Structures are given as structure tokens and as C-alpha cells.
A and B are shown apart, each in its own frame.
Chain A
Amino acid sequence: NAGVTQTPKFQVLKTGQSMTLQCAQDMNHNSMYWYRQDPGMGLRLIYYSASEGTTDKGEVPNGYNVSRLNKREFSLRLESAAPSQTSVYFCASSGQGIREKLFFGSGTQLSVL
């Protein structure tokens, strides 16, 4: 059971370049999330999707866009990367009710030079 799969694991970009982080889950979860992790700041929510076809902004959405392609996949796009977007990015999905808990991918370490 793969759980949550994120690609790529590492990426180096130059300022102004664009890229898409891919995420897929195989647990039939409705809710999916993108977080970024920075030292001393914990995880901050970028965007989330409560169900297929819906997306909502989180705490730090500026500079990012998302697509909930189908129930399994939730991608994060950086249109014009900036050094402030250097971070570790985590995708997560969650069940509901008594099964509510986040399952995280292994992360993408992104450096923007």
C-alpha cells in the first residue's frame, strides 16, 4: 500500500522558473493538502482540497496554484519561483470522521537560487 506519493524528492530551480509538484494518494480520501515546512515555523498550509473539484487557500497561498485533477491527485504549481519559496513541501491526505488523520508523503526539498 503506497499511501501518499510525492514527486520529485529534490529540485533546484533558478529564480523565475516554474515547476509542478505532483501528489497522488491511493486511500480513497476526499481531503488533500499541501504544506510547507520551514525551520522554526512548523508546517504552514498552502492550499487544501476538501473534495474533488474544490480547492481553498490556506495560510500562505501567494505564489502558488493547485489543481485537484481527480480524487487521487493534487498538484502544486510554482509559476515563477522565488528564493522565499525554498522549503520542504509535503502533500497529505485525510480520511473523515473517526478515520480523520493526515497521511503525509515523504516530502520535496526545493531550493530556489
Chain B
Amino acid sequence: AQSVAQPEDQVNVAEGNPLTVKCTYSVSGNPYLFWYVQYPNRGLQFLLKYITGDNLVKGSYGFEAEFNKSQTSFHLKKPSALVSDSALYFCAVRVSDTGRRALTFGSGTRLQVQP
């Protein structure tokens, strides 16, 4: 079984401030972890993924995420938020050592960046 929790429905941050969007996961095995972003009336777009190796993963648009195995977390971060970062963010997971590649998504966190 695999599941993802995004504990915050919405995160508000001022432009220029650092942002964090939280994600915790549960899998019976080693995880593959992903972040996707959805802009209004659009499909989801890939931001970054953790497969193996360095715990700090860098992705698109200046975003990064840190894999923490002991806390089963994969929080999304950005040093300086932009108004254009306002969107819906989804964390997703799958177990690495199976042939089933279908992801399980969290419920999403809406990021609002105020000017």
C-alpha cells in the first residue's frame, strides 16, 4: 500500500519570502517521490522527483525538495517566492521495487503568494 498526506490545504506567503509545502508519505518499500504543479484550468506539470541518491533534489522554476527517510517526508521548498508561483501543488509516491508504476497523489496544497 502507498499513501501521501499533504497536511495543509493552503499556504500563504509574501513575495520574496521562502516557502515550504509539506508532504509525508507511507509505502511498504523504497519510495519514488514526485512533485507536480497545476495552474488554473491546466493539467499537472512535473516539478521534480526523488529516485535515489542525494536527498536534496532540485527541479524546475527554482524549486527543490528534501527527502527525509526517518521522517518519511518530502517537503517542497523555494528560497524566494514569486507571485507567479501561486498554484495547486501535488505530492505523489510509488513503491520503487514493483512493476506497478502508477502514482498515488496527495490531496493538494494551494500556494498563494501575495505581492
Chain A residues within CB distance 8 Å of chain B: 4, 31, 33, 35, 40-45, 48, 50, 56, 58-59, 90, 92, 94, 96, 98, 100-107
* Residues in B neighbouring A41, C-beta threshold 8 A: 107
**B115 CB-CB contact with A under 8 Å:** no
B12-20, B40-48, B64-72, B76-84: which one contacts chain A? B40-48
Kindly identify, within residues 95 to 109 of chain B, every residue whose CB is under 8 Å from any CB belonging to chain A: 99-108
* Contact in complex: B44, A102 (CB < 8 Å): yes
Chain B residues within CB distance 8 Å of chain A: 4, 6, 9, 32, 34, 36, 41-46, 49, 51, 90, 99-108
Docked complex Cα distance between A101 and B47 (Å) = 9
* Contact in complex: B107, A40 (CB < 8 Å): yes
* Contact in complex: A50, B90 (CB < 8 Å): no
* Residues in B neighbouring A35, C-beta threshold 8 A: 105
Which residue of chain B has its CB nearest to the CB of A31? Answer: B101
Chosen A-B contacts, 29 in total, with CB atoms closer than 8 Å, are A31-B101, A35-B105, A40-B107, A42-B4, A42-B90, A42-B105, A42-B107, A43-B44, A43-B90, A43-B105, A44-B105, A45-B102, A45-B103, A48-B101, A50-B101, A56-B100, A90-B44, A92-B44, A94-B101, A98-B51, A100-B49, A100-B51, A101-B34, A102-B36, A102-B46, A102-B103, A104-B43, A104-B45, A106-B42
Given contacts A101-B34, A106-B42, contact A33 B49 (CB under 8 A): no
- Among A42, A92, A94, A107, the most chain B Cβ lie within 10 Å of the Cβ of A42
* Contact in complex: A101, B107 (CB < 8 Å): no
Given contacts A42-B90, A43-B90, A50-B99, contact A101 B104 (CB under 8 A): no
B104 to chain A, nearest CB (A): 7
Docked complex Cα distance between A33 and B92 (Å) = 14
Which residue of chain B has its CB nearest to the CB of A107? Answer: B43
